[in-house]
């Protein structure tokens, strides 16, 4: 009887086939960056004040400055964003002489100070003042989609195959990412983003898995990191595309249209995991994929090895409940869950607040993307040199300290705030890269 490791050594453990597969699986990660961080630009806020066009009925020739002065109250030398003087039935002369003292909320919506041709979901759906919480809600709903995708699509990949889930996830991100650009209101937008978040999670979690299952175990960390390196490249491209296209609907359509081509190419070329096929008892299909891989690598697997290839049966005793039943697994789950929580809090807390550090949002986003590349690539070297435990602890601690330091820096020092935030982004990215590899290696195969 021969096992897959023997087959792998014959066809090449990391040959042209595996390298091309890893390179191809980098592409979906490139586009998930658009889906996960795109709202930084799609949900941009702009200076605004209440719409007070009611006064133009009394004075149609009023300048904008005079209109605002008569209808918007001031606080600490600045016009209020979410309050206006209550409309009255007085003539213009009376209003100018006595003024209005009673204020109210923005009963007729808001006017935004935006450059020509610029728009976001904030300006189009009026997500300011008492509706501003819908911005945070939309991002939270997207994160809920990521969580649900992690819970559901991992199980689906075990049952229906890695290839099926990756193709399905790519198709869903394409359709729903593109469709969100046509959302008639914020509630439809949030629903579409929720489904898109589920699919993005499927891409992130299964892309590096199928690459790792076609290589030797010693290359698993390398495959994971290489696949994820294209995520920050997507972040850098996102800042450039968003700078060029300021209309949020056009931006959304442009970002996700190329995925149609990616889905078509992947449908024809993406192989199924031979390891997974063997666990399902589909030996003939596994042999077909193995021969295909060996041919690309310029190798030939002996027929006697293929004939004696044994099924890699999944352990029948493995259950998700083992994590809670077995003490050492329960302890690991608690510790790693804390690491995931801290890492996600740091990473998304910095990434989604890129516009609040005081510098140009497009430049800051580009830098945030660029700093992730050395953080991810360097993680491979540091993980091998220092080990998983020491490195994970160090980057979590360092990242947390930088986030606390940001709170202590005065807001009138935006350059200093941004520099510290970039250092924090480096640490949080390194922690993310480490926790992906560490988590996969800590659990038995049946539970992974």
Q: Give tens-digit pLDDT for 75-117.
A: 888 888 999 999 888 888 888 888 888 888 888 889 998 888 8
pLDDT digits (tens, 9 = 90+) for 328-357: 777 888 888 888 899 989 999 899 888 888
Inter-residue contact 301 to 288 (CB < 8 Å)? no
Residue 363 has pLDDT above 60, yes or no: yes
Closest CA to 239 of 426, 34, 35: 34
The mean pLDDT value of the chain amounts to: 87
Give the largest CA-CA distance in the chain. Answer: 100
Residue 447 has pLDDT above 70, yes or no: no
- Indicate the pTM of the whole model: 0.86
Report the pLDDT value the prediction gives residue 316, as an integer from 0 to 100: 47
Question: What are the residues whose beta carbons fall under 8 Å from the beta carbon of 251, sequence distance 6 or more?
Answer: 38, 41, 42, 181, 241, 242, 245
Report the pLDDT value the prediction gives residue 321, as an integer from 0 to 100: 66
For residue 79, list its beta bridge partners: 74
Report the pLDDT value the prediction gives residue 205, as an integer from 0 to 100: 83
d(CA 86, CA 71): 8
Residue 133 has pLDDT above 60, yes or no: yes
pLDDT digits (tens, 9 = 90+) for 11-53: 888 889 988 998 899 999 999 999 999 999 999 989 999 999 9
Query: What's the alpha-carbon Rg for the chain, to the nearest Å?
Result: 27
Residue 317 has pLDDT above 50, yes or no: no
Taking residues 267-287, report their average pLDDT. 87
d(CA 214, CA 223): 10
Residue 258 has pLDDT above 90, yes or no: yes
Report the pLDDT value the prediction gives residue 432, as an integer from 0 to 100: 86
Inter-residue contact 12 to 18 (CB < 8 Å)? yes
Q: Enter the tokens of residue 101.
A: 């003292």
More confident residue, 116 or 322: 116
- 424-427-428-434 Cα dihedral, nearest 10 degrees: 180
Report the pLDDT value the prediction gives residue 315, as an integer from 0 to 100: 47
Q: How many helices (H) and strands (E) does the chain have?
A: 20, 6
Taking residues 276-299, report their average pLDDT. 86
Q: Enter the tokens of residue 100.
A: 């209005």
pLDDT-derived band at 443 (thresholds 50, 70, 90) equals low
Taking residues 390-418, report their average pLDDT. 90
d(CA 82, CA 50): 6
d(CA 255, CA 177): 8
Residue 441 has pLDDT above 90, yes or no: no
Question: What are the residues whose beta carbons fall under 8 Å from the beta carbon of 420, sequence distance 6 or more?
Answer: 402, 405, 406, 409
Percent of the chain with pLDDT over 90: 39
Report the pLDDT value the prediction gives residue 312, as an integer from 0 to 100: 54
Residue 446 has pLDDT above 60, yes or no: no
Q: Enter the tokens of residue 59.
A: 């004075």
Closest CA to 180 of 124, 229, 129, 132: 124
d(CA 350, CA 253): 26
Length of the chain: 448
Alpha-carbon distances of 2 from 26, 58, 384, rounded to whole Å: 32, 90, 30
Q: Enter the tokens of residue 430.
A: 């390194």
Residue 366 has pLDDT above 90, yes or no: yes
Question: What are the residues whose beta carbons fall under 8 Å from the beta carbon of 29, sequence distance 6 or more?
Answer: 203, 204, 207, 227, 228, 230, 231, 234
Inter-residue contact 377 to 225 (CB < 8 Å)? yes
Residue 233 has pLDDT above 90, yes or no: yes
Report the pLDDT value the prediction gives residue 369, as an integer from 0 to 100: 92
Euclidean distance between the first and the last CA atom of the chain, given in angstroms as a whole number: 26
Residue 318 has pLDDT above 70, yes or no: no
Burial class (CB in 10 A: 0-12, 13-18, 19+), 360: middle
Least confident segment among 13-22, 137-146, 215-224, 371-380: 215-224
């Amino acid at each position: 009887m021969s096992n897959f490791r023997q087959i792998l050594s014959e066809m090449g453990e990391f040959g042209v086939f595996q390298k091309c597969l890893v390179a191809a699986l980098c592409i979906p990660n490139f586009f998930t960056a658009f889906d996960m961080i795109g709202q930084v630009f799609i949900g941009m806020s702009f200076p605004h004040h209440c719409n007070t066009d009611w006064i133009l009925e009394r004075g149609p020739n009023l300048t904008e400055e005079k209109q605002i002065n008569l209808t918007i109250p001031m606080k600490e030398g600045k016009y209020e964003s979410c309050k206006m003087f209550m409309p009255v039935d007085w003539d213009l002369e009376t209003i100018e002489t006595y003024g209005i003292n009673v204020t109210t909320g923005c009963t007729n919506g808001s006017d935004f100070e935006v450059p020509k041709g610029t728009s976001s979901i904030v300006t189009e759906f009026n997500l300011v003042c008492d509706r501003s919480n819908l911005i945070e809600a939309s991002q939270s709903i997207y994160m809920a989609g990521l969580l649900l995708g992690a819970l559901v699509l991992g199980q689906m990949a075990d049952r229906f195959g890695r290839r099926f889930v990756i193709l399905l996830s790519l198709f869903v991100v394409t359709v729903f990412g593109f469709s969100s650009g046509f959302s008639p209101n914020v509630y439809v937008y949030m629903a579409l983003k929720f489904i898109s978040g589920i699919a993005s999670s499927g891409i992130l979690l299964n892309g590096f898995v199928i690459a790792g299952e076609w290589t030797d175990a010693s290359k698993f960390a390398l495959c994971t990191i290489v696949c994820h390196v294209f995520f920050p490249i997507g972040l850098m491209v996102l800042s450039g595309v968003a700078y060029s296209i300021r209309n949020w609907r056009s931006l959304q359509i442009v970002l996700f249209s190329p995925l149609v081509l990616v889905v078509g190419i992947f449908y024809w070329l993406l192989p199924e995991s031979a390891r997974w096929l063997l666990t399902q008892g589909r030996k003939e299909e596994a042999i077909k994929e193995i021969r295909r891989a060996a041919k690309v690598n310029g190798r030939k697997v002996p027929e006697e090895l293929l004939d004696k290839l044994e099924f890699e049966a999944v352990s029948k005793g493995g259950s998700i409940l083992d994590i809670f039943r077995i003490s050492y697994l329960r302890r690991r789950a608690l510790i790693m869950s804390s690491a995931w929580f801290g890492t996600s809090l740091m990473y998304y807390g910095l990434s989604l607040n890129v516009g609040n550090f005081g510098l140009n949002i497009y430049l800051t986003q580009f830098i945030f993307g660029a700093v992730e590349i050395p953080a991810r690539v360097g993680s491979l070297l540091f993980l091998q040199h220092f080990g998983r435990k020491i490195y994970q602890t160090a980057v979590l601690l360092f990242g947390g300290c930088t986030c606390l330091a940001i709170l202590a820096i005065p807001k009138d020092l935006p350059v200093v705030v941004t520099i510290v935030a970039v250092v924090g982004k480096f640490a949080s990215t390194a922690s993310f890269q480490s926790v992906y590899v560490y988590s996969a290696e800590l659990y038995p195969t049946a539970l992974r």
